[in-house]
Amino acid sequence: MTDYTIYHNPRCSKSRQTLVLLEENGVAPTIVKYLDDTPDAATLQTLINQLGLEKAHDLVRNKEADYSTAGLTPDSSDKDVIAAMVAYPKLIERPIVVRGQKAVLGRPPENVLSLLGK
């Protein structure tokens, strides 16, 4: 069992780079392909908390077409944003790497080094 999890999109270059960086540092994370295995609302709220984000909107890719489709704005409630991310998982910023109770966004990939104690 690993104590690292990556919410990964194999089509995303930053996500691939982050996974390689973890592997180069001896980490074999649990890989969650979130577009296929979308986190539920409770999991997304936990990730938002672990990332230390002020609001759910901070985890949204607002340039995705689904952002408009979902009717989101910067003022949307956390509940509405999280519901949109569940319905449209492309909206979830990626990659997210979790270790224990901490999480970081792998943008840039080097951000994950803080979870490795580097």
Q: Cis omega (within 30 of 0) on the bond before 89?
A: no
- Identify the residue whose tokens are 């944003």: 81
CA gap 57, 64 in Å, rounded: 13
Pick the catalytic residue: 1, 8, 10, 12? 12
Whether 106 is catalytic: no
Tokens of 69: 């489709």
- Roughly how many angstroms between the first and final C-alpha of the chain, as a whole number? 22
- By the 8 A CB rule, do 59 and 92 touch? yes
- Residues labelled as active-site residues: 12
